[in-house]
């Protein structure tokens, strides 16, 4: 029998007020405990930022360059990522369940690269996200695209289901082939996603005015790496993004298509989490690369 004598309990330290600390992520303080706990597995509570490794490209591209053998080329990078962004197919078949970082599951899809890309539907149930222990579900939102309204509604349906289950929703602002990638467009797209409930938003870095994109979005923004560029330039890109208000990167090709991906992800981490200057991060990249 448990001891029912509460008379002995005296260690209340009534003079010490209980701490009530704000959650470290922008716009996330009012979320429920489970959602915050999952976000703390995406973003580092120390730096407030994340290095997400994106390799979900196959959901519309098939086996793209650098992702032919995820088991051989991507799994070795996972210890250096705060979070993996991937499809459930790759998660189940290829990622060891011993991985304990955040999992962000691709949750929209449908058309291949051969078709109109904005024609996506929801492609993941929240039950499946729970079963796979996902921290977030990622959905493309095509502002200005042919199927803009449907893609926004895909997002809001995932937000509703995610909030019921304590799972975050990452809105990925997808820029159509003929659309301008400027700050005005990014402000529009990111703000719409946040207003309609996205927990955080992924967008592209723009050179002129990214700080206004980040400031105008009431939830954290992570930037996509985009097309492969020289390693030094990709480190510059990550540096500018975080210095101008991004809460990290969701980088794919500029890591896994780098000459030495395992060195590149470590250099990106230094820029994102430790504010290392891009020139020093590039030196680190070269040193790690030469060490093989
Ligand atoms: C696909 C995505 C990808 O995850 C993202 O674009 C990958 O990152 P990168 O552009 O750095 O290769 O959202 O639509």
Strand partners, 50: 248
- Nearest one of 146, 192, 187 to 171, comparing CA atoms: 192
Separation of alpha carbons 200 and 155, rounded Å: 12
Domain ranges of the chain: 28-290
Q: State both tokens at 190.
A: 């990111």
Query: pLDDT tens digits, residue range 78-118?
Result: 999 999 999 999 999 999 999 999 999 999 998 889 888 88
Does residue 90's CB lie within 6 angstroms of at least one atom of ligand 1? no
Instruction: Give every CB contact of residue 11 below 8 A, 6+ residues apart in sequence.
Output: none
What are the structure tokens assigned to 68, written together?
């032919």
Alpha carbon nearest to ligand 1 atom 4, residue: 54
Q: Could you identify the atom of ligand 1 that is nearest to the CA of residue 253?
A: 12
Count of alpha carbons within 13 angstroms of residue 13, beta-carbon side: 4
Distance CA 1, CA 39 (A): 40
Residue of 52, 53, 57 best suited for mutating to test ligand 1, as the one with most atoms within 8 Å of CB: 57
Instruction: Read off the pLDDT of residues 23-73 as tens digits, 9 standing for 90 and up.
Output: 999 999 999 999 999 999 999 999 999 999 999 999 989 999 999 999 999
Q: Domain spanning 28-290: which CATH class is it, in words? A: alpha beta
Q: Does ligand 1 come within 6 angstroms of the Cβ of 224? A: yes
Q: Which long-range contacts (CB under 8 A, 24 or more apart) does 60-64 make?
A: 60/109, 60/111, 60/112, 60/113, 60/117, 61/112, 61/113, 62/112, 62/113
Centre of ligand 1 from the C-alpha of residue 98, in Å? 24
What pLDDT is attached to residue 174?
A: 85
pTM of the complete model: 0.95
User: Looking at ligand 1, which atom is closest to the CA of residue 225?
Assistant: 11
Residue 202 known to be catalytic: yes
Ligand 1 neighbourhood includes 81 CB (under 6 angstroms): no
């Amino acid at each position: 029998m448990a001891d029912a004598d509460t008379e002995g309990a005296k260690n209340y330290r009534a003079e010490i007020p209980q701490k009530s600390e704000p959650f470290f992520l922008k716009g996330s303080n009012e979320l429920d405990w489970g959602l915050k706990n999952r976000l703390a597995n995406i973003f580092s509570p120390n730096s407030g930022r994340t290095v997400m490794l994106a390799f979900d490209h196959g959901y519309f591209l098939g086996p793209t360059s650098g992702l032919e053998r995820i088991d051989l080329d991507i799994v070795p990078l996972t210890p250096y990522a705060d979070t993996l962004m991937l499809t459930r197919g790759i998660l189940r078949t290829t990622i060891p369940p011993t991985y304990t970082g955040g999992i962000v599951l691709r949750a929209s899809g449908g058309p291949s690269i051969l078709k109109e890309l904005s024609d996506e539907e929801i492609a993941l149930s929240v039950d499946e996200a729970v079963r796979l222990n996902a921290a977030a579900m990622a959905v493309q939102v095509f502002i200005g695209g042919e199927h803009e309204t449907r893609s926004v509604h895909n997002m809001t349906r995932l937000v509703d289901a995610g909030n019921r289950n304590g799972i975050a929703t990452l809105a990925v602002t997808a820029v159509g082939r003929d659309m301008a990638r400027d700050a005005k467009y990014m402000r529009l797209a990111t703000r719409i996603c946040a207003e309609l409930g996205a927990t955080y938003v992924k967008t592209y870095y723009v050179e002129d005015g990214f700080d206004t994109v980040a400031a105008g979005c009431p939830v954290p923004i992570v930037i996509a790496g985009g097309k492969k560029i020289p390693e030094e330039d990709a480190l510059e890109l990550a540096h500018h993004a975080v210095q101008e208000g991004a809460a990290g990167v969701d980088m794919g090709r500029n890591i896994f298509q780098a000459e030495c991906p395992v060195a590149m992800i470590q250099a990106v981490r230094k820029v994102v989490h430790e504010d290392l200057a891009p020139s020093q991060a590039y030196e680190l990249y070269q040193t790690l690369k030469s060490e093989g």
